[in-house]
Amino acid sequence: MRVGLGYDVHKLVENRKLILGGVEIPYKKGLLGHSDADVLLHAIMDSLLGACALGDIGHHFPDTNDKFKGISSIKLLEEVYTLISNNGYTVNNIDATIIAERPKMLPYIQSMRKNIAKALQIDINKINVKATTEEGLGFTGNELGISAQSISSLIEK
């Protein structure tokens, strides 16, 4: 078994869609980034790549490449699935946390889990997504950004 850890953060700005776990969430601000800035999927991808010792998403999908400008992170997650699969691994489980003061994530978590499971071609019961606030502290508490953390375990096929 192999284990990987992922973390991502993006700034909240006006005139951007808020997309987390491949779900568009109605909110007054969205996340700034080269792609759709889906911090949850970015953290998950980094944990998967890390578990295989394949670097990180910046290596595979650089923000200097216009091919990835505005791209859906679900598509990138599907590419990460291909990479880990081609290296002889399958996902055992993923546990991820979204850190955001607002909006409330609970109504969207099941859809996020479904999107992740579909992209990784695994059972939804291998995916856990949860959310927390920082009680008004720090950049997430002050609603300046949203971050996410992920840990994943992979097993050989």
Question: Which residues make up each annotated binding site?
Answer: 8-10, 34-35, 42, 56-58, 61-65, 100-106, 132-135, 139
Q: Taking the CA of residue 1 as centre, how many other CA atoms within 13 Å lie in the half-sphere pointing to its CB?
A: 7
Q: What residues have CB less than 8 Å from 2, skipping those under 6 apart? A: 51, 52, 89, 153, 154, 155
Please give the helix or strand (H or E) that residue 86 lies within, else none. Answer: helix 73-86
Amino acid at 69: K
Write out the binding residues for a divalent metal cation: 8, 10, 42
Tokens of 55: 């670097």
